[in-house]
Structure 1
Amino acid sequence: MRLSTFLHVALTFVAAAIVALMAANASVGLIEDRSEIGVRQVLDDRELVWAEVSADGLQVTLTGTAPTESDRFQALAAAGSIVDAARVIDAMQVEAEAELAPPRFSIEILRNDAGISVIGLIPAAADREALTDRFERLADGTAFADFLESADYPTPDEWDESLGFALRALDKLPRAKVSVQSGRVDITAMAESEDDKAALERDLNRAAPSNLYLALNITAPRPVLTPFTLRFVRDADGIRFDACSADDEEARTRIVNAAFKAGLTGQPDCTIGMGVPTPRWSEAASLAIAAIAELEGGSVTFSDADVSLIAPEGTPQNTFDRIVGELENTLPDVFALTAVLPQPKSEQPQGPPEFTATLSPEGQVQLRGRIQDEVTRELATSYAQSLFGSAAVYTAARIDDSLPDGWSTRVLTGLEALGNLSNGAVVVTPDEVTVTGNTGEKEANARIAQLLADKLGEAQHFDISVTYQEKLDPASGIPTPEECEAEIAGIVAVSKINFEPGSANVDAAAMGTLDDIAEILKECGSIKLEIQGHTDSQGRESMNLSLSQERAQTVLDELRARRVLTSSFRAKGYGETQPVEDNGTEAGREANRRIEFRLIRPEPMTPEPQSALDSLAEQSNEDAPEEPASESEDAGDE
């Protein structure tokens, strides 16, 4: 074969191979494009847009980061629905699973006379055994129920501090519910009395760490008053309550309003307690107070259902008879009235027997006057020594066997009354027990009146002239509510409480002002205070009112965070309704945007022109027979 023929055949084969190769490459490229486009389309349709597709020959590779393992399998299944699953190469990754959020560690502790129960979740790192031992010691032999669980997560900041404070607080709380979280302790408890409640709140707030939020809800039961006592006096020293008791808030308001109508000024103390002899107590007290007002003097004393009225000396007999008769007819049936009209002193025999006990400011006691017998003198001396100390009592009383019955009871009762004074004297006569002196306790008058009414019995005349002196009061350092209000106003005038524009967030520069106000309020004790929010007139009125309320509430919350006892506080927004300057100027608007602290004062009573007794008597006798009503009207005309 010739060489030219061979070359021609070889070139023909080479050309055919090149054409075949080009055709094969074109077919592969077409398959790759179709595979990639098809898989991309189905992934988009199924919202698996995170997956990336690339084709290499017959192989289809999936890349990208799947949100979850389930999403990865969905992408593989979608690709397998377009091309043979054997041709799909999985090069995808899965996002690392986010770490589980740690649980909220908390403990609920319930304690009562039956024992202690604890439920909650604590960190696994906590010393469970030591904690259980602490609770068992607190239970002190009573039942202890442990329902605590643990979780292996890091101990939160301030957890140990919160739990430690809660355990210390439980030492003072025999009946309580305590909730513990990191940085917060909530305590709900019951105290034995109002004094115990105040002491608990003070001690717990002082003991709480500064970085701990403490929420207190401590209640105290109403005291049981035995006997239930009220004493209203109008004499040369003025108009006053020596003792005042009521069974609820409505009854107290009724009694106090009756006293206002009788001429009382100022806000009296009237204890709400249990033990009232009848639900009509306030009605009877109001009628008796009105009788004293009509007599223009004297005193009325309630000891449970026994009522003793002492008219002013020199009251005309017919006036006395009429007023007492009307009072007897209108008092509820359960009450027994004893009324006395003292005779002028000139008609009384001179030189009545007398016993006197004096207490000096230094604490020295002298007993002088007359005592029934030696046994009574020794008893009086021993009793005085038990009250004032053995070395402080000097006895110079003489024996007189002609003294009236009950003398020793009156002497011992007088000594007990003297024990409520810082200095003063008690004078006992056959007709009267007189207590005079000074005290540093605001409740001394009420206690003495209750004591004398209980021990001496009805119809016994006694006189109390005890003066409260602030310098003798252990709490004399506490400023008056008015002084507190003025001092806070002075601080706000110098350093205003400002807020972020259009917001209820306190400006950082005002935090020092709130610190200063909190320190004053801690010294003021329990006062009724309104935190007032005011705005300028810019913006809608409704928005200004809402913003002023939010700002007042923010200030109240800031004071709570500073351990101020705010149970008697309230926050109120007044919006733009009470401007102090012209809103037409920038300086005026700045002055009108303010926070004020105002005492909540009782609204004064306006006396009615008709006599209080006539008004109340008419209400009680609406259904009375016609003839007795006519007699009452005739008596009133006199």
Structure 2
Amino acid sequence: MTPVLRFSMFALVALLVALGIRDLSARGAVAIEAMLGARVENGLDVLGLDWARVAVDGLIVELSGDAPDVDSQALAVEASRSLARLGRVIDGTTARLAPPERREPIELEFHLDDNALTLMGRVHDEQMRNALIAQVRKVDQKLEIDDLTGIDAARPPAGWGGEIAVALAVIDMMPRAFVRVTPGSVFVEGVAADLEARDAMETELLKLAGPDIKLVTAIRVPGRVITPFSFVTEKSRDGVMTLVVCSARTEAEAVEIDTIRKEMQIAGGPARCPAGLGGPHGEWVSAVRAALGALAALPAGRVEVTYRSVTLDALPPTSTERFEAALASLSIDLPPGFDLSGAVAAGHETERAAREKESYWMRLTRLGERLTLEGRVEDAVAATALSSVASSRLGRDAVESDLRAADVTPPAGWQEAALAALEALTEFRGTAELTARGLILTAKLPGARAARELHDRIAERMPETIPLRTQFRVDLPSMIRALPLDPDRCVAELNRAVMKRGVLFDPGSARIDSGSRDDIRALASILRRCPEVAVEIGGHTDNQGREELNEQLSESRAEAVLDALVDEGIRIHRLDAKGYGEHDPIATNDTPEGRARNRRIAFKLKE
């Protein structure tokens, strides 16, 4: 073979070999691209990044697609770089900017109870929480603080801080209170000692709040329970009317009664009648005015208005005719619903003259807290001795003596009879008349059993030489209040009592206010009249505050009433306590008055 031919053959073989390698290289590059693309795509699918699209050109991996957020975009790029270690990743993705995380605004609750403060709600961060506690410490270093706040609130707005200043002022003002703070508003609930204190507190808080903070206050003045709820005035023989006891249901009524006192020139008593709970329904001021008008028509006497009962008593030198006229006029002037009774403590002059013909006579008259002694006794020593004994029992200011020494012979055993009569009149209102013919005792008693017991007790002390005759009037209203109750009436009476007077609690707690102890005793008295009835005590709140906290508070308050009734002797198996929270309102929660009605204790038959 010639050299030329051999060269030609070699060139042909070399060409064919070159063409084969090039084809093999091309096919290998395609395989590598497919492998790289599949590896990246499969990895992104496993991570749930199916939005990302992958394109491979040689060893270049190009990502594209619209990521739902920045974090997802960054994860796709980092994962692709890890999967395509031999390649180069070019990021061509886009990402939607996610809205910032929404946080609830700051909300703080201050539950203040004597020397303890519970903080609830949410603050922005730990720094804000520490600053708040430090501010509270400055107000009261001895205050025990229980911090239950969370750190998840939004950043406070510009101008924040005045709200906290108002809350800190409340902590400094009141031993027990509830404060809710949100940006731009503060709600304060608490108790003030009296109206003047409440007005001063509200004025100071309004100054601190200023025009930019909405301040809502529910500072109440706890109504004192007045027992008995009475108005008593006496008129002496010289015509001076003196106030002994007075009560009003509201401040407005206290002002009205004060005006009446000035018009009628009534001396004594407080500058203004105290206002409080316990008064009867009806026209209290009208009853007081009518009673004072009847007393003014008498030369001397005493008038008492207690709940719905009015008693007019005449003192010497009132004649029977004049007393009966005043009593008749009063019966016309009294508003509906008031009962009227009365008595002549000493008769007119003809009656007195007839009595003085007796060789010996004495009359003891108890009207309210005052005791009048009159009559003819053997000498000044006997008169002084009896007056001294009466003064030791009732007090010197409560005894008025008109005993006259005369040359008379007292019946045997008169001292024992007089002391027995005096003992009876230290317990009950009435009259005891002692003559040579015997002792006549007249009194008003709460029931037939009390009348029997008093008669027997006085009879044991009476000497055999002096006969005893008793004339007792039974207090029917008191007897009616002691009658048994059927189940439905029992529950109705319980709810009537609790709605009329209420059971008050310290703000934000289940501790029964000390002023409500009489109300608990009244509820126990009703339950004793229906010993076989089992009842549920339901606690209710308004819609202020968190729902779950309201339910817990209402149940705790119902249980507190249950415990208080058990302490009064009611068997626990008759009682059950349940908290209804804010779910059973009886009035609107949009007004302070409505919310006050919804915060209540209610009774129903136990299922």
Q: Which bin holds the TM-score, normalised by the shorter protein?
A: 0.3 to 0.5
Q: Give the greater-gyration-radius structure (CA).
A: 2
The higher-RCO structure (CA 8 Å, 6+ apart) is 1
TM, length-normalised to structure 2: 0.36
TM-score, normalised by the number of residues in structure 1: 0.34
